[in-house]
Structure 1
């Protein structure tokens, strides 16, 4: 599992010490507002085991996110294969941060780093989806250069009827991929394998 670094962040393999703050995030109703039910500690720990196994199998996935200045675990960011039951396919980018670090630009910085990694893998496109009311995540999607066509909006079949079912879909435009291929240094990332 490669580590990725930015000026402020380290995207790294999960550690035992991440389990407690990750569980606290998954038990925070504000963090989970657009995700659904709160998770128990056991459910939260199980997600880490799955994320690590998927990364090992595919060569991409969910990194633990650390603030380099403090060494503090602050969330997760990464790439995931879109579930088969969705009305679109491909690789999805996502992030989830502790509420205490919201508003500092970490999600944008980490997401740009993940996009650079995705483009280096040769992925033809990266998508991002969230609930129609998750305006904070949609703002990050726009800041990293993704675009939305309302015709792509969808109802998530894995979510029961209710406010979390209606979702929006953002995509990386072709010109973003071309720009990255011709000018790799547009996103400042160092990859350590």
Structure 2
């Protein structure tokens, strides 16, 4: 979905260097008033929040977009090119009854000193249009009944006011809804936009090779460090969980469903599991060496550092999550690396 550009703005993914912006964003008095949980009192909290903002960077419709100015912002040259002014988020909205999320929400936050220029409205309209263009039929927004400024944003981007509701966040909120063209998303199953994104390695040749192996049927298992789920505050996979697998361009290529999940010591991983990873491993020595190179490499270790967590040691006792999955839907005509 990102990057996007509008007349005055550029929307991009969050990066490790945006930590100070995350702090500034979350001291806006109106934000703290209406969303107390958004308070960011210390660096550890700011790092966790930044990690969350970076976590959906490859999802085709979900994500956290940083809003920055393409020029001086029409402020007489007083605002610098590239100044970060806010964010727009798109994510599944939690139901008050505890049921699984059934619809995406769009929301927005803004740095206090940049309010009043229409930046959030301009950015939110671009994001909402992009989400509908991707095939998502319905999106909602919720605001505190006293947050009139946020309600005006929802109305200005064309969302329908439905009135007060307790359907979401277990709170009394003003509910808005937007419907796009009901054209679906082709081969993708209903509810695809709510699925977690399945990311193999980092974008580049390695990811596309792994995705090609999944689509070809050779790859049916994967392995991750347990510490990765802990650092990202993510629940462990479980049988029945589905993922929207993307390639390096962030394009959905298939949907997988987990059929078995085991947490074991690295030294206990079986040859059967290693071979089923589809990367031409014939013994555990080669499998182990390749995975240790990835888990101790700068990109992977940097992922932990951004989240304020020390990268874990990797040895026989390191806990890993071994997942077996199957492909339940695939994009027609997909060719690796394209």
Q: TM over 0.5: same fold?
A: yes
Unaligned runs of at least 5 residues, structure 1: 159-164, 180-191
1:101/1:20 CA distance change after superposition, 3 Å: same
Residue of structure 2 equivalent to 1:29: 29
Q: Hey, what does 2:145 align to over in structure 1? A: 132
C-alpha separation between the residues in 1 aligned to 2:97 and 2:67? Answer: 27
Equivalent in 160, 166, 172 of residue 154 of structure 1: 166
Greater share of residues in helix: 1
Q: 1:122: which partner in 2? A: 135
Q: Kindly state the Cα deviation for residue 58 of structure 1 after the two structures are TM-superposed.
A: 5.7
Gaps of at least 5 residues in structure 2 are 72-80, 183-248, 251-338
Give, in whole Å, the separation in 1 of the partners of 2:154 and 2:28.
23
**1:110-138 alpha-carbon deviations (Å, 9 max, x no partner):** 01101111112100111000111110000
The superposition leaves residues 95-124 of structure 1 with CA deviations (integer Å, 9 ceiling, x where unpaired) of 101111111011110011011111121001
Equivalent residue pairs, number: 173
Correspondence 1:1-193 to 2 at 5 A = 2-37=2-37, 38-40=39-41, 41-57=43-59, 59-69=61-71, 70-85=81-96, 89-150=102-163, 153-154=165-166, 157=169, 165-172=171-178, 174=179, 177-178=180-181
Contact 1:62 1:77 in 2 (8 A): yes
Change (3 A) 1:57 1:105: closer
Counterpart contact for 2:70–2:82, Cα < 8 Å: yes
Counterpart-to-counterpart distance in 2, 1:76 and 1:63: 5
Give the 3-state SS of the residue equivalent to 1:55 in structure 2. coil
CA distance in 1, matches of 2:117, 2:97: 32
Find the aligned partners of 1:124 and 1:95 in 2 and give their Cα distance.
Answer: 20
Distance 1:155 1:122, change over 3 A: closer
| Structure 1 outlier segments of 4+, above 3 Å | 84-89, 155-158
Which structure carries more relative contact order (alpha carbon 8 Å, separation 6+)?
A: 1
Query: TM-score, normalising length from structure 2?
Result: 0.46
Cα separation, 2, equivalents of 1:89 and 1:75: 27
